[in-house]
Amino acid sequence: MDKIIKLGIPKGSLQNATIDLFRRSGWKINVEGRSYFPDINDETIECALCRAQEMSINVETGVIDAGLTGLDWVAEHESDVHVVADLIYSKVSARSARWVIAVANDSSIKTLEDLAGKTISTELVQFTRRFFAERNIDFNVIIASATTETKIVSGLADAIVEITETESTIRAHNLRVIHVVMETNTQLIANKKSWEDPKKREKIEQIALLLQAALVADKLVGIKMNVPESKIAGIVSLLPSLNGPTIAPLYQSDWFSVETIVEIGIVRDLIPRLLKDGAEGIIEYSLNKVL
């Protein structure tokens, strides 16, 4: 079967999380050694590893048809691409990240205006320049490829513009945040000409659909239990659900099987309450996809 699309997989910190998301969505991507062209169990897709920082450039120019990268890098390069879907996941969590301005804890810098004439270190150079230009604040920039936080510690910069999810690394370097520049998350983006091609678009939409379904499933679990008829009303009143629980009578019994989908965060409180109110044989199970 001929390949339909060339798909960019982000190389680096987002790589493992992306490959795991594809696995949960039904695609197995196998990266061997230092190869930049992983195998995938789909004859219609050709995969290529690409740095997230460069993904939107390669998609815009048509080197690849679609790829996954951060909203931040699309904004950095002002890439003219079609955003297919927002995918809220990262290297360590299922939430968006933030680009923040941070300074040393003992710094006198408190506001954006205090950064006038100062030196800022960042990987997000062009976006940072536009951000401060819109506010008529002049500054000097140091292009940092990694370990941005150390630029303040070593005295090379007065502030940094850095990405963070939990701020733990920033705090570990004795820094504090003074401003949030932007929130960012992973996006599936497509080349505009590829998006206009019916076959390519159908394949890209399939990928988006299943990736999103897997992300939704990460936040939910299924619960199944047996409940006596006399306790049904009370048990059902405890159950939040997407569309209400499924209830079926057990064979030659006055008991019922009750099944529902709930948010994973409430399970630890919900199960003890279900047991207390008469449910038995409770089974919790994970979900692969929810559409």
pLDDT value, residue 91:
60
CATH number of the structural domain spanning residue 210: 3.40.190.10
CATH number of the structural domain spanning residue 255: 3.30.70.120
Q: Which of 217, 237, 259 is the last residue of a domain?
A: 217
127-166: pLDDT as tens digits = 999 999 999 999 988 777 666 777 787 788 999 999 998 8
- Indicate if 156 and 168 belong to the same structural domain: yes
- Indicate if 128 and 171 belong to the same structural domain: yes
Beta bridge partners of 29: 40
pLDDT value, residue 92:
60
Query: Which residues of the chain fall below pLDDT 70?
Result: 1, 91-94, 145-147, 241-242
- Indicate if 26 and 161 belong to the same structural domain: no
pLDDT value, residue 89:
86
pLDDT value, residue 65:
98
- Indicate if 33 and 89 belong to the same structural domain: yes
- Indicate if 255 and 175 belong to the same structural domain: no
Q: Which of 166, 200, 217 is the last residue of a domain?
A: 217
16 within domain boundaries? yes
134 within domain boundaries? yes
- Indicate if 178 and 141 belong to the same structural domain: yes
Find, among 83, 85, 66, 65, the residue nearest to 74 by Cα: 83
- Indicate if 226 and 252 belong to the same structural domain: yes
- Indicate if 179 and 191 belong to the same structural domain: no
Residue span of the structural domain in which 28 resides? 5-94+186-217
- H, E, C per residue of 223-287: EEEEEEHHHHHHHHHHCCCCCCCEEEECCCCCEEEEEEEEEHHHHHHHHHHHHHCCCEEEEEEEC
- Indicate if 199 and 226 belong to the same structural domain: no
Counted domains in the chain: 3
Find, among 64, 65, 71, 66, the residue nearest to 89 by Cα: 71
pLDDT value, residue 150:
75
- Indicate if 146 and 33 belong to the same structural domain: no
pLDDT value, residue 1:
64
Could you identify the residue written with the tokens 């994970």?
A: 286
Surface-to-core class of residue 115, CB atoms within 10 Å of its CB (0-12 exposed, 13-18 middle, 19+ buried): buried
pLDDT value, residue 93:
60
291 within domain boundaries? no
